[in-house]
């Protein structure tokens, strides 16, 4: 066995966004998220991420079942902590679930889950999903209080929200501060026995910078890969991001 490598989860939500722009309300349309699964995996993706939102704005119920059937690697199911979504997850049996906050008005997930204010509710969800053999991750801002709270819920993983880092990227001082915040939180999570993933806003320019953050297991990247795929094709877009992720010094 070699060193553990930094794994890539390809989020295919925005393949469905593109389809819905033309085919909303219809039972067919292109591009097809299942084709995206096959191409991303063939290009070396270690997993597929998809978010079935309560408002069904991109991935639809029929998509998530077709994606589950197609995935050969690992399915990471992003969802809000609602009874409806817990029920779907228990039937879908993804390898992993990432609990995320949802607000109907937002363009995309805007911030991390406020775990600290809902430890009991999240603990219950994490226990239910964990008992079904599903690995649970909480999508949180790089905030020490949220990491403490995650450990208290019994969830085995965090996914650090890298959006603030991505937004600060063009300002060197702000970028350094955000990386330091992410690195400290990754250290804290590791010390509490949590696995560490990261994602949101990562792209072909800023992904290398994330090497400053230790203990990362997986990056979840979606919009930038789908955007790049418009010009170079999805397989090529995935291979290019994997190349940028190669050589991460401190996996695991």
Residues 235-249 as b or e (16 or more Cβ within 10 Å = b): bebbebbbebbeebe
Distances (CA, A) of 212 to 59, 95, 116, 183: 33, 28, 27, 7
- State the Cα–Cα distance between residues 184 and 197, nearest whole angstrom: 14
Which positions are catalytic? 51, 78, 200
Identify the burial level of 116 via C-beta atoms within 10 angstroms of its C-beta, where 0-12 means exposed, 13-18 middle and 19 or more buried: middle
- State the Cα–Cα distance between residues 174 and 177, nearest whole angstrom: 5
Q: What is the CA radius of gyration of the chain?
A: 17
């Amino acid at each position: 066995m070699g060193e553990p490598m930094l794994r890539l989860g390809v989020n295919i939500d925005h393949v469905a966004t593109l389809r819905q722009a033309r085919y909303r309300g219809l039972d067919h349309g292109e591009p097809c998220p299942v084709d995206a699964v096959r191409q991303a995996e063939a290009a070396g993706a270690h997993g597929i991420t998809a978010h079935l939102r309560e408002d069904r704005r991109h991935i639809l119920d029929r998509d998530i079942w077709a994606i589950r059937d197609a995935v050969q690697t690992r399915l990471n199911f992003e969802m809000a902590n609602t009874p409806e979504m817990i029920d779907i997850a228990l039937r879908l049996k993804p390898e992993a679930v990432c609990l995320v906050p949802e607000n109907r008005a937002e363009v995309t997930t805007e911030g991390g889950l406020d775990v600290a204010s809902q430890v009991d509710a999240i603990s219950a969800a994490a226990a239910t999903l964990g008992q079904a053999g599903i690995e649970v991750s909480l999508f949180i801002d790089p905030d020490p209080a949220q990491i403490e709270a995650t450990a208290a819920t019994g969830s085995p993983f965090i996914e650090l929200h890298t959006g603030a880092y991505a937004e600060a990227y063009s300002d060197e001082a702000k970028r350094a501060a955000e990386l330091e915040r992410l690195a400290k939180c990754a250290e804290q999570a590791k010390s509490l026995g949590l696995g560490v993933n990261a994602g949101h806003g990562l792209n072909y320019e800023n992904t290398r910078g994330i090497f400053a953050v230790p203990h990362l297991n997986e990056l979840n990247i979606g919009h930038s890969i789908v955007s790049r795929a418009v010009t170079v094709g999805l397989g090529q877009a995935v291979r290019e991001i994997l190349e940028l992720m190669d050589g991460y010094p401190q996996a695991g």
